[in-house]
Structure 1
Amino acid sequence: MTPLLSVSDLRVGFGRDPRANEVVRGVGFDIADGETLAIVGESGSGKSVTALSINRLVDFGGGRITGGSMKLKRANGTVFELTTATEPQLTGIRGAEIGMIFQEPMTSLNPVLTIGTQIEESFRLHRGLTGRQATAAAKDALDRVRIPDAARRLKYTPNQLSGGMLQRVMIAIALACNPRLLIADEPTTALDVTVQAQIMALLAELKRESGMSVIFITHDIGLVAGIADKVMVMQNGQAVEQGELNRILDSPQHPYTQHLLHAVPHFASGRATRSDGQRDNGASAEPALKVDGLLVRFPLKSSFFSRATGAVHAVDGVDFDLMHGETLAIVGESGSGKSTAAKAVLGLVRPARGGFSVGARAASPRRSARPIQMVFQNPYASLNPRLTIESILAEPVIATGGRVDAETRARMARLLERVGLPKNSLERYPHEFSGGQRQRLCIARALMLNPSVVVLDEAVSALDVSVQAKVLELLVDLQREFGLAYLFISHDMAVVERIAHRIAVIYAGQIVEIGDAQSVLSKPRHSYTKKLISAVPAIDRRREHFEIDTRQVPSLVRPPGFEPAPAKWERFGGDHMARVEV
């Protein structure tokens, strides 16, 4: 039987001499109708270039196919050679027969057009819909990927949506035309586990309805186990191992495949939580950070000069204590308010009510003796490319009125050594470091002022799995050495399980469950926490059947003057509490 796509000896190069600069070397695979092939590997392995080559988008990025063959079986049964196709021929194939979900939504969406206009374009070009029909189809597309207030969001521009919501918009666009082959390049990396499960359910539903084939590029082995029929492992531009799913996961033969499987954190339902004794939770112990009744609201106006017609209750009465030497993980879906709460603690967002304190002082990062510092998600965007590492590490010292003297430079050297970077790093620039090294530099910068609290907002989600494991180990070691308190924000439950002492689950701007990590993960009490944990992919759950949840995510928009009802809590032993559900 003729495969839908047959790739043999594919070679792709870049630069003036592509043959001398090949980044994909001799890759070959077949994918049948209705089959899912997962391509796994770390960044730089060539998996994304392979995907871009299939629909010849690599041509627009300075790449050239230098050898090999890619044969696509068209809808009419004819076999078409993609490597020699002309641009007009490819225009008729892209979108209609080969769809693509890109990894980075911010660079894939037009920043000056509304979300609705960009989704409607797909329906206009490929389905011939116009006017209200196209708008209704665009709203349905957003509903399918679980974006709340879909009709209102159609009028938004990309800068008004979170990264997770933007990725959902990209997925909605790609699925609009029901392509026969869908190439998904890390489509769920920016999404929380519940939305990820919904996206996988959508892909599974489309496969059942239309026999669509999927090439799924990811580093999440647990997700691979749930959806793939075959797996191809790539390293340094080559396919080092490929075969049927169970054989690859249960009996990997290549050392790199074995390394990947070992490095990926696997969710163990609370059995892998930390058991160190670094916390000081005595009754008289003073919290490193105390948050009391934090409330953040963003007013909604129909025009610049009009009165507010309502408000987005992004954070609605959040309370917690963070002890010295402790890691409190805040988990929840994108848009739940977890990052907004962290920004309010840092003073980057003004709270409408409530507040926080650091130790015995009133909260102020500038006035505190040991300020709160932050490590951001993207290490590539967090460092000024024009400054040397010495200047970058000096910034927090100068910003707080300090001087860059011999003692400061000695501290720079000690911190660089502590985070595992060479001594000559001070004279180098950010582009001379890998992603993992850049995140280590961000951690070193955060420690320059000897903080008592470090906020880590998705600090390891952009890293490869092996680099991620090393950074997590570094964070644990630094916490033990300096007694740091971590506010760890993440949507990756497997990562949270390995670093958190306590977990706070936030939903629709409110904490719904909080307590010891092992207790929360092994015996969740709130229905939302149970839903989060049940959606976590695991390597031992093969070819999982995802169910689509059609329930609407509650809107955070409230009318003027609205006040939430006082929370009622139920205790389950120790410090494990859950909000009573109405």
Structure 2
Amino acid sequence: MIPLLSVSDLSVGFGRKAEANEVVRGVSFDLADGQTLAIVGESGSGKSVTALSINRLVDFGGGKITGGSIRLRRGDGGVLDLAGAAEPQLTKIRGAEIGMIFQEPMTSLNPVLSIGTQIAESFRLHRGLTGRQAIAAAKDALDRVRIPDAARRLKYTPNQLSGGMLQRVMIATALACNPRLLIADEPTTALDVTVQAQIMALLAELKRETDMSMIFITHDIGLVAGIADKVMVMQNGQAVEQGELNQILDHPRHAYTQHLLHAVPHFASGKATRSDGRREKAPDAEPALKVDGLAVRYPVRSGLFGRATGAVHAVDGVDFELMPGETLAIVGESGSGKSTTARAVLGLVRSTRGSFSASVRKAAAGQSALPIQMVFQNPYASLNPRLTIESILAEPVIASGGRVNAETRARMTTLLKRVGLPENSLERYPHEFSGGQRQRLCIARALMLNPSVVVLDEAVSALDVSVQARVLELLVDLQREFGLAYLFISHDMAVVERIAHRIAVIYAGQIVEIGDAKSVLSAPRHAYTKKLIAAVPTIERRRQRFELDTRQVPSLVRPLGFEPGPAKWDVFGSDHRVRIEG
């Protein structure tokens, strides 16, 4: 039987001389009805360009198909080569026969139009529906992707929905006209594991209901194991290996595929936790960071005069200690309060109550010292593109009242060497470095003031898996060398397992479970911790079926004057506590 989609020797280039600037070269694959092909590879491998070329959206980004064919079997049985199709033909196919879920819902959806208006557009364009008919169809589309209270949410704008809800809206839009082929470009990137699991469950269920084919683009091998029938691995614009799922995962032949699989942090339910750096038990040991009763609240205002009618309890009564040389990972979903906790400790948001203290190290002569520094999530956004690396490394010194002298420049050189960058990096600019190198620069900047505590807020989540592995190794080496304490904020449980000594699970602004990493991951006690761990995708869980869950996180809005009661804990072993609910 003729495949639904047959891509043969596809090449794509950019610029005026596209043939000389090809980023995809000689890619070929077939996709049958009801089949899922996963395209995996690191950033810059060409996987997204390949996907955008199928429905010719690459044309709108300065790209051009320079060779090959993309043959689509139409609904009437005819075959059309999309590579040479005219724009009027493509307009009828996009959305109707080929749906697409884009990577960033916040940038893919119009921020000023309601959700209902944007979904209804597909029905107006491809089905000829108008007015109430289109809106009614849009509501049905939201019901289809299990968005609760769909009629009310049709009136929402994108900023009023969470990341997981926005991704469901993108899926509803892509599937509005029942396309036979769905292209999902990194649909779960930056989503928490539980939300990610729900999106994967939704895609799998919708695929079963409609028998559609899917091209699933990702860098997460664990997700591939849960949804794909076939896998194609891309490197430098070429397909270096492809085959059946089990063949690729169990018997990879190409060196790059083996490298990717080796670099992926496999979640091992507490069996791969660190064995070094046990907590100091001496009674006189001073914590590097102590947080006691931390609360962060934001007023809720309403009415003509904006009177405060309540407060959002973003963080409520958080307590923990972080010892020198120790890593405490704070895990939880978006909105749970983990990043707010870290930012409150740094003074980037104002705490409502509570106290925290950090030990200050002795600084060498002529050097400044501050107890806490931070490494942010996005290395592309956290480095000033107009400054040289020397100026960037000098910033914290100058901001703390110090002077850039010979000792400061010597420390710059030492730190650059220690994070694996050449000395001549000082005269270069951020755009001259890769993502992994930029994050190394951010780490060097954080160490300029000899801190005792480094806060790492999703510091490796934006990196490819192989780069991520090397940065994690660097962090562990630096911790051992300098005795650093890390407050590690993450939603990736596999990464947490490999770097954390202790784990604090935060839910609805409160720590619900805290203790030794091995104990928490191997024997979780709180229902929320169990839910987080159950949602982690792994290569070992082939064809894992997730149950759809449309329950929402409880509201954090409390009436004025509300104060939570004192926390009560169950204790398991020497270092494992679980909050007693109610």
Q: What TM bracket, shorter-length normalisation?
A: over 0.9
Counterpart residue number, 1:50 = 50
Percent identity (aligned): 81
Provide the TM-score with structure 2 as the length reference. 0.93
**The 10-residue stretch of structure 1 (500-509 or 131-140) with the greater mean CA deviation from structure 2:** 131-140
What code does the residue aligned with 1:238 have?
Q
Tell whether 2:327 aligns with 1:327. Answer: yes
Counterpart residue number, 1:96 = 96
Counterpart residue number, 1:211 = 211
Counterpart residue number, 1:345 = 345
Task: Give 1:134-283 correspondences, 5 Å limit.
Answer: 134=135, 137=138, 141=142, 144=145, 151=152, 155-158=156-159, 166-167=166-167, 169-277=169-277, 279-283=279-283
Tell me if the contact between 1:69 and 1:83 (Cα under 8 Å) persists in the aligned partners: yes
How big is the alpha-carbon RMSD for the aligned residues of Structure 1 and Structure 2? 2.5
Provide the TM-score with structure 1 as the length reference. 0.93
Counterpart residue number, 1:314 = 314
Return the offset for 1:276. Answer: 0.7
Return the offset for 1:305. Answer: 3.4
Tell whether 2:388 aligns with 1:388. Answer: yes
Give the Cα–Cα distance (whole angstroms) in 2 for the partners of residues 530 and 219 of structure 1: 25
What code does the residue aligned with 1:274 have?
R
Tell me if the contact between 1:148 and 1:553 (Cα under 8 Å) persists in the aligned partners: no
Counterpart residue number, 1:22 = 22
Q: Secondary structure, in 3 states, of the residue corresponding to 2:241?
A: strand
Give the Cα–Cα distance (whole angstroms) in 2 for the partners of residues 459 and 148 of structure 1: 36
Give the Cα–Cα distance (whole angstroms) in 1 for the partners of residues 46 and 577 of structure 2: 46
Counterpart residue number, 2:539 = 539
Tell me if the contact between 1:331 and 1:506 (Cα under 8 Å) persists in the aligned partners: yes
Return the offset for 1:370. Answer: 2.7
Give the Cα–Cα distance (whole angstroms) in 1 for the partners of residues 150 and 515 of structure 2: 32
**The 10-residue stretch of structure 1 (464-473 or 283-292) with the greater mean CA deviation from structure 2:** 283-292
What code does the residue aligned with 1:316 have?
D
Q: Secondary structure, in 3 states, of the residue corresponding to 1:226?
A: helix
Tell whether 2:452 aligns with 1:433. Answer: no
Counterpart residue number, 2:364 = none
Give the Cα–Cα distance (whole angstroms) in 2 for the partners of residues 112 and 283 of structure 1: 58
Give the Cα–Cα distance (whole angstroms) in 2 for the partners of residues 230 and 211 of structure 1: 16
CA deviation map 1:148-167 (0-9, x unaligned) = 99957954553x66666655
Give the Cα–Cα distance (whole angstroms) in 1 for the partners of residues 58 and 115 of structure 2: 26
Tell me if the contact between 1:167 and 1:190 (Cα under 8 Å) persists in the aligned partners: no
Give the Cα–Cα distance (whole angstroms) in 1 for the partners of residues 511 and 151 of structure 2: 25
Task: Give 1:317-466 correspondences, 5 Å limit.
Answer: 317-359=317-359, 369-466=369-466
CA deviation map 1:508-560 (0-9, x unaligned) = 11111110000000000001111111111111111112221133332222333
Give the Cα–Cα distance (whole angstroms) in 1 for the partners of residues 316 and 297 of structure 2: 8
Give the Cα–Cα distance (whole angstroms) in 2 for the partners of residues 176 and 287 of structure 1: 55
What code does the residue aligned with 1:187 have?
P
Change (3 A) 1:149 1:541: same
Give the Cα–Cα distance (whole angstroms) in 2 for the partners of residues 36 and 472 of structure 1: 32
Give the Cα–Cα distance (whole angstroms) in 2 for the partners of residues 161 and 455 of structure 1: 28
Tell me if the contact between 1:147 and 1:165 (Cα under 8 Å) persists in the aligned partners: no
Return the offset for 1:343. Answer: 1.2
Give the Cα–Cα distance (whole angstroms) in 1 for the partners of residues 425 and 146 of structure 2: 44
The alignment of Structure 1 onto Structure 2 pairs a total of residues equal to: 575
Give the Cα–Cα distance (whole angstroms) in 2 for the partners of residues 282 and 151 of structure 1: 58
**The 10-residue stretch of structure 1 (232-241 or 67-76) with the greater mean CA deviation from structure 2:** 67-76
Counterpart residue number, 1:80 = 80
CA deviation map 1:19-65 (0-9, x unaligned) = 11111111011111111111111111111110111111111111100
Give the Cα–Cα distance (whole angstroms) in 2 for the partners of residues 476 and 161 of structure 1: 37
Q: Secondary structure, in 3 states, of the residue corresponding to 2:460?
A: coil
Q: Secondary structure, in 3 states, of the residue corresponding to 1:205?
A: helix
Give the Cα–Cα distance (whole angstroms) in 2 for the partners of residues 124 and 571 of structure 1: 59
Return the offset for 1:494. Answer: 0.5
Tell me if the contact between 1:148 and 1:555 (Cα under 8 Å) persists in the aligned partners: no
CA deviation map 1:359-397 (0-9, x unaligned) = 389xxxxxx943311111111111111110011111111
Tell me if the contact between 1:100 and 1:183 (Cα under 8 Å) persists in the aligned partners: yes
Q: Secondary structure, in 3 states, of the residue corresponding to 2:413?
A: helix
Return the offset for 1:484. Answer: 0.8
Tell whether 2:485 aligns with 1:485. Answer: yes
Structure 2 gaps, min length 5: 362-367
Q: Secondary structure, in 3 states, of the residue corresponding to 1:343?
A: helix
**The 10-residue stretch of structure 1 (254-263 or 161-170) with the greater mean CA deviation from structure 2:** 161-170
Tell me if the contact between 1:299 and 1:311 (Cα under 8 Å) persists in the aligned partners: yes
Give the Cα–Cα distance (whole angstroms) in 2 for the partners of residues 418 and 255 of structure 1: 29
Change (3 A) 1:97 1:141: same
Return the offset for 1:357. Answer: 1.4
Give the Cα–Cα distance (whole angstroms) in 2 for the partners of residues 349 and 136 of structure 1: 43
Structure 1 gaps, min length 5: 362-367
Task: Give 1:464-543 correspondences, 5 Å limit.
Answer: 464-543=464-543
What code does the residue aligned with 1:300 have?
V
